[in-house]
Amino acid sequence: MCIYKCKWFPQISKQPSNKYSQRFFDFIRTMGAGGRMNESETKRDVFKHVPVEKPPFGIADVKKAIPPHCFNRSLSTSFYYLIRDLCFVFSLYYIANNYITLLSPPFSYIAWPIYWFSQGSVMVGLWNIVHDCGHHSFSEYPLIDNTIGLIFHSLVLTPYFSFKYSHRTHHANTSSLEKDENWVPKLKNDTWFVELIANPIVNVFLVLFRLVFGYFGYFLFNLHGRIYKGFPSHFNPLGPIFNDSERAQVFLSDIGVGVVAYGLYRIGTKTGFQWLLYMYGYPLLVMCALFILFTYLNHNHPSVAHYDAREWDWLRGALATVDRDYGILNTVFHDEPNAHVVHHLFSSIPHYHIVEATRAVKPVLGEYYNFDDTPIVKAVFRETYNCLFIKEDPEKEGVYWFSK
């Protein structure tokens, strides 16, 4: 089927209700560079450094503030969200395959990007449900969690066990310069190309490069990850990221991704690779870009610190994360990016309880809780410009702040 000669565009039969219209405009305000979801939050100085002293509370104090039911992992509830998202995925596919393919330009030029973004966003939500499997917050049954995780992460070309193990290391060492696995910043005095990349034009390139190549660059080559000797790929069972007890399951993840990749190849040869790209490929790229976007913004902010071995401890490292507001996409993403602080404190809390848990811990965390409702488009360029490198605090050894 030749895409450029087809007649495409979905027909809209009715106007959305006021409630959903308001949610849509809230989303636009949040994602745009000039809007505000909460004016009182954004008036504060977002560049003001958060406290780095040992907090006056412990993790047990934080846990006491959370209602006990938030730690309950319901298999039926988790399956409900999984099946619901799968229904959304297949519904969007049905619309695209049966209606958008009938549209002609210029309508098709509008309809296809809407489908790609919508499908990619739902795939992010599905990805986050499966991410719960890796934390065993999907259910109380590890076998079920790992089976669901392996199947559905493989379907989006993500090595499940490989990510599960490296992600576990990330949670155990968040904001540690020596041991963290993700978004490890570089020291400014160790980087010879500081002046080269510290300008707005290069910043735009960095944002685009990160969004397009960051996801698979990380899994293939450990891009923006921890420095290792050897070949630190998530597809390399013998690589330095994993220990001996993990290598067999990493190999199993490779098989899962390989089977799906071969299946996609067979589908492409039968239906056409252009069809496959439009139905699956572009939504997958949107999913990857959104994943990189929100993980980057959760772990990069001018106000949060990183620590070396002299000063790092688990609690302060976990607190050096930032909740963001994505408007209506918070719900689509199952609240992973807007309740990320609590996720780092208690990764066993399932996604459907994480907002309630976040509200409960805010009074305990006080000024140690980090939230920034700066519109996302504005935030990603601001952080790319202001969070290029880190420099040690001249008054406190072992503490490092972002610098440009």
Per-residue pLDDT tens for 82-113? 999 999 999 999 999 999 999 999 999 999 99
160's tokens: 């499940």
Q: What is the pLDDT of residue 44?
A: 60
Contacts of 65 (CB under 8 A, 6+ apart): 360, 361, 363, 364
Q: What is the pLDDT of residue 13?
A: 36
For the chain, which residues make up each domain, given as ranges?
50-403
Q: What is the pLDDT of residue 299?
A: 96
In tens, the pLDDT along 346-367 reads 999 999 999 999 999 999 999 9
Q: Output the CA torsion sign for 291, 346, 246, 309.
A: positive
Q: Please give the average per-residue pLDDT across 238-253, as a whole number.
A: 96
Q: What is the pLDDT of residue 193?
A: 64
pLDDT category of residue 218 using cuts at 50, 70 and 90: very high
Taking 90 as the threshold, does the pLDDT of residue 240 lie above it?
A: yes
301's tokens: 């902010």
- Of 223-227, 323-327, 329-333, least confident by mean pLDDT is 223-227
Residue of higher predicted confidence among 15 and 301: 301
Please say whether the beta carbons of 254 and 159 come within 8 A. yes
Contacts of 38 (CB under 8 A, 6+ apart): 325, 373
CA distances from 95 to 91, 218, 264 (A): 6, 33, 20
Whole-angstrom distance, CA of residue 111 vs CA of residue 62: 46
48: number of Cβ within 10 Å: 9
- Of 30-44, 306-320, 371-385, least confident by mean pLDDT is 30-44
Taking alpha carbons only, the member of 131, 141, 100, 116 closest to residue 8 is: 100
Q: Which ranges of 99-199 does DSSP label H, i.e. alpha helix? A: 107-135, 142-154, 160-172, 194-197
Residue of higher predicted confidence among 20 and 379: 379
Please say whether the beta carbons of 327 and 29 come within 8 A. yes
Q: What is the pLDDT of residue 63?
A: 98
Q: What is the pLDDT of residue 190?
A: 61
Q: What is the pLDDT of residue 2?
A: 43
Residue of higher predicted confidence among 403 and 81: 81
Residues in the chain: 404
Order of strands across the sheet that contains 186-187: 186-187, 389-392, 399-403, 305-307
Q: Please give the average per-residue pLDDT across 33-60, as a whole number.
A: 70
pLDDT category of residue 200 using cuts at 50, 70 and 90: confident
Taking alpha carbons only, the member of 353, 349, 157 closest to residue 257 is: 157
- Of 112-116, 217-221, 228-232, 288-292, least confident by mean pLDDT is 228-232
Q: How many CA atoms lie within 13 A of 335 on its CB side?
A: 16
Q: What is the pLDDT of residue 201?
A: 84
What is the DSSP track for 197-232? H-SHHHHHHHHHHHHHHHHHHHHHH-TTB---SS--
* Amino acid found at 231: F
Cα angle for residues 360, 319, 45 (degrees, 5° grid)? 90
Taking 70 as the threshold, does the pLDDT of residue 183 lie above it?
A: yes
CA distances from 117 to 50, 110, 289 (A): 35, 11, 10
Q: What is the pLDDT of residue 28?
A: 44
Taking 70 as the threshold, does the pLDDT of residue 31 lie above it?
A: no
Contacts of 106 (CB under 8 A, 6+ apart): none
Q: What is the pLDDT of residue 192?
A: 61
Taking 90 as the threshold, does the pLDDT of residue 60 lie above it?
A: yes
Taking 60 as the threshold, does the pLDDT of residue 308 lie above it?
A: yes
